[in-house]
Amino acid sequence: MKKVSVVILILALLLVSANMFAQGSKESSDDGGKLKVAMVLKTLSSEYWKRVVNGAVEAAEKYDVELIKLGPPSEDAVEQQINMVQDVLTSNPVALVFSPSQPATAVNVLMKAKEKGIPVILVDTPMGNDFTDFATFIGTENYAAGKLGAEVMIKALGKNKKAVVIEGAPGNPTTTQRADGAEEAFKAAGYQILSRQPGYSDRERAYTTMQNILQANKDVDAVFCSNDEMALGALRALQQAGVDAAVMGTDGNKGALESIIAGGLFGSAAQKPEMMGYLGVEYAVKLARGETIEKRIDSGVDIITIETAQAALDSLK
């Protein structure tokens, strides 16, 4: 019996120490009337989402609110994310800041939030047409990001050149909109679009795609890619073929920034994840104060080029 009680004791200790691992504020009934904001993201364990959390924490400190932040271990753990939303709603936060891994699966639980009168602030990823009662959607204007990225290249290269556009998987709205924006900007500046093809958001696939495009035509001046991974793949194909073209990626990832500094990529249209987190909490506070807010808030883009890449890289660390 002795050993059994030892095991039970360990279990108890485990749970009590889990309480210490609770990030930041602990829940309690006497939290001095501080506003409570709940945030459930796709995961907390990747670079991008950590940056969203950092922004949210900054806003929580500024406005002196209690921030509950949860996210499953990976973006695949869809049901676990829904469970987290369910669990967090029982603490009656003033608002739920939420980024759905699979928007279709979140409809039921967001309806629950609505029934309880808890407003939903979406960040990064919008809901489909099944749920339109959210308070606001804060995210990158993808079309504008693509357009702006292409325009910076056009400014450097001049008008009437030749461009290639590589997008993500067909049907992925995010990457398609970015490519649409870039194509529009190229056309407006008198560029000839040599080819627009899917690179499936993957470095290797974009590398092959770019190789195939170069087989047909080596006279390329500008390449726009809907994410950084694809931009790095396309860049490799261009370098191997000895073609000197400007390549613009999207996202502002570490790898892309390093490539920009090393003279590889021309630039990257960076999303602002910290801004999404920050605005998420800020607008939750505004809602709690009874202010009305717009249904769509642009978290903005930064076009990072050789001048700003080092500063952007430093801010990631």
Partner 1 sequence: MMNALLQNIRKTFKRRKKSEGRRSFGILLSLIVLCAIIAILSPRFLTIDNLRNVTSQATVSAVVSIGLFLAILTGGIDLSVGSILALSIMMMGIFQVNLGLDPYLSMLLCLGVGSLVGLLNGLLLTKLKLPHPFISTMGTQKIARGLSLAVTAAAPISGFAVPVEFLGSRSIGPIPASVILVIVLYVTMYLFLTNTATGRHIYAVGGNVEASRLSGINVDKVLCIVYTLSGFMAALGGIVLVGRVNAAYPLAGQDYETDAIAAVIIGGSSFSGGVGKIYNTVVGVLIIAVLRNGLNLLNVDSAFQTVAIGVVIILAVYLDVIRQKKSKISK
**112: which 2 tokens?**
């629950």
Pick between residue 29 and residue 292 the one whose CB is nearest to partner 1. Answer: 29
Pick between residue 107 and residue 156 the one whose CB is nearest to partner 1. Answer: 107
Pick between residue 105 and residue 212 the one whose CB is nearest to partner 1. Answer: 105
**Cα(10)–Cα(283) distance, rounded to whole angstroms?**
42
Pick between residue 105 and residue 192 the one whose CB is nearest to partner 1. Answer: 105
Strand stretches in the chain, DSSP E: 36-40, 66-70, 95-98, 120-123, 136-139, 162-167, 192-198, 222-225, 246-251, 267-271, 296-298, 301-305
DSSP 8-state code for residue 31 = S
CA quadruple 271, 275, 277, 279: dihedral positive or negative? negative
**Cα atoms in the 13 Å half-sphere on the side-chain side of 62:** 14
Q: With beta carbons less than 8 A apart as the criterion, state whether 264 and 240 touch.
A: no
CA quadruple 306, 308, 314, 317: dihedral positive or negative? negative
Q: Give least dist CB 42 to partner 1, A.
A: 11
Pick between residue 12 and residue 306 the one whose CB is nearest to partner 1. Answer: 12
Q: Give least dist CB 8 to partner 1, A.
A: 6
- Beta-carbon contacts of 30 under 8 Å, excluding residues fewer than 6 positions away, are none
Pick between residue 8 and residue 311 the one whose CB is nearest to partner 1. Answer: 8
3 state DSSP class of 69: strand
Which residues here bind partner 1, judged by CB under 8 A?
Answer: 3-4, 7-8, 10-12, 14-16, 18-19, 21-29, 43-45, 68-73, 76-80, 82-84, 86-88, 90-91, 102, 104-109, 128, 130, 171
**Cα(123)–Cα(257) distance, rounded to whole angstroms?**
24
Pick between residue 79 and residue 294 the one whose CB is nearest to partner 1. Answer: 79
